[in-house]
Amino acid sequence: MGLKKDIIKIGEDIGFNLVRFYKPEIIKDEYFERWIKEGYYGDMEYLKMTMDKRLNPFLVFSNLKTIISCAAAYNYIKYEENGRRIAAFALFEDYHKVLKRMLKEYLKRIKSLIPEAEGKVFVDTGPVFEKEIAVRCGIGFRGKNTLVINRDFGSFFVLGEIFINIDIEPDGPVSDDCGECDLCIKACPKGAIFEPYKLDPRKCISYITIEKKIKDFNLEETNGYIYGCDECQVVCPYNSERRVKLNIFSKVLNNLLQNHR
């Protein structure tokens, strides 16, 4: 337990709000497999191409013993100019770059603590089933909008992982706590959340404005968003009283609309 506490402390010192540990296994997920088979991934062909690796993390790192799941929270900021809106996560430095730096430093410090440690770091551009892993090790529970929700930090956070060859005591899942709430389903402008816990990305404004890379789209159809969408998160009760005061995403970028033309 002492080693686990030391590793958690390193992660917190680097700036992660949450650190949990998952004992890897080959994941059985009939819904995800059917979701891929039925083409819900749209233009995200990489999801289909990497499905085997996402379900079997040992294909990504053969000597895998533990997955360290890390969450870094950011504050919600409503940004709108001339009827154009940008999702909160895009108001800060590219989180992929921020997380990669943090994760590499985290792994470096773990290696200093445990010389025999070897590992690989991933953000959401890698072939990792990161939301499922985060749910299974208690970063949070799966919300009806399919996002991971933490009772203290809500859902405004990003995930990164360290695959490592060291056995660390795993954490377990937390209970689903959405109850009868369906605010996120009602708030989705395009009806992309077609059932609780089920999302059709092809109707999702985040997908339309980011993954499809459409330069010209009707702002009325995207609820004014030109990059991303926060509607299903803003209404979530867990995001109404978040406890994030200081975080790694502190400097808001300038010239946002120029950056997202």
Provide the annotated active-site residues. 124
Angstrom CA distances, 34 to 28, 29, 41, 120, 159, stand at 12, 9, 11, 29, 24
Residues in Cβ contact with 212 at an 8 Å cutoff, skipping those fewer than 6 apart: 42, 43
Count of all residues that appear for the chain in the document: 261
Spatial contact of 166 and 66, defined as CB atoms under 8 Å apart: yes
**Beta-bridge partner residues of 84:** 81
In which residue are the tokens 């005061």 written?
245
Spatial contact of 203 and 45, defined as CB atoms under 8 Å apart: no
What is the signed CA dihedral for 54, 55, 57, 62, rounded to 10 degrees? -120
